[in-house]
Structure 1
Amino acid sequence: MTGLPTELIVLTILALLAASMWMPYVIGVARLPEAAGEADGFTRPADLRSLPAWIHRAHRAHLNLIEQFVPFAVLVLLLDRANGFSALTAWTTIAFLGLRIAHAAGMISGLALFPLRSILFNLGWLCCLILGYAVFAAT
């Protein structure tokens, strides 16, 4: 494929996902009736709670992804620097990617109700802890 380690491939996919997660929110807001009269087709809503539930959830899904992507990215880059990639880190990054996709899809669709959404988020946090362990183990 590319010769990149699995961890860096996953990091790239997650970076692209994080960079794209604003789209459901903006598309949802642009489709609101009050946006039709705007010259640029977009109105900035005053209160997220006043939006249809799925649009508000799309905004929160983006924020939740960024919250976990930043420490995940730092840990993967530290592991790369420390030559600390292993089977554990490869499978942990793959699991993290799957969890973040499931979290975003479940959040936006409204299917990941409490406690499932929290479980998915916390499993992602656990993945970061595993990667943190691997950083210290590699040094």
Structure 2
Amino acid sequence: MTTDLRYLVLTAMLTAALWIPYIVCQVRTNGPLEPKNYADPTLPRPVPAWGQRANRAYLNAIEVFAPFAALVIVAQLAGKANATTALCAASFFYLRLAHAVVYLAGIPYVRTILFTLAFVVEVVIFWEVTR
């Protein structure tokens, strides 16, 4: 497996696991779901701010995963994967991991910087694929 694909897999697993802190917060705050919650999922189950941040970190990870995955896969299929795309794929994973931690912790400004750097990394992969 190439470095690019390894970090794509790691990013997929990170994204897939980011629901866990939100659910832990839900259960700790509101207890387990009851039959009425399944019948009407719009019933309010408020959570503290860290739980809301956990949910947003998860949703944000889902939103940015598809473009990253597409770029890495196209780089592989087009034979454009190289040391630069490998470094970018690794950077994306670690930036997104840091983003999730910072988002959960509620640290202002750093989250935006990490998000922007991860986008820049995607642009570099795009550049490598299209040149």
Is the partner of 2:65 in helix, strand or coil? helix
2:111 is aligned, of 113, 117, 123, to 117
| Structure 1, gaps ≥5 residues long | none
Q: Percent identity?
A: 35
1:1-139 aligned within 5 A:
4-32=1-29, 34-35=30-31, 38=34, 46=43, 50-110=46-106, 112-113=107-108, 115-137=109-131
TM-score, structure 2 normalization:
0.88
How many residues are treated as equivalent by the alignment?
130
Alpha-carbon distance change, 37 to 121 in structure 1, aligned in 2, over 3 angstroms:
closer
Residues 61 and 107, structure 1, Cα contact 8 Å, conserved in 2: yes
Give, as a single letter, the amino acid of the residue that structure 1 aligns with 2:51: I
Higher RCO (CA-CA < 8 Å; seq separation 6+): 2
Instruction: Give the alignment's Cα RMSD to 1 decimal.
Output: 2.4
Deviation, structure 1 residue 51 = 2.1
Contact 1:7–1:90 (Cα < 8 Å) also in 2: yes
Larger % of helix: which?
2
Deviation at 1:40, TM superposition (A): 9.5
Would you say the 8 A contact 2:7–2:90 is kept in 1?
yes
Give the conservation status (yes or no) of the 8 Å contact 1:30–1:41: no
Kindly state the Cα deviation for residue 17 of structure 1 after the two structures are TM-superposed.
0.9
Q: Which amino acid aligns with 2:60?
A: N
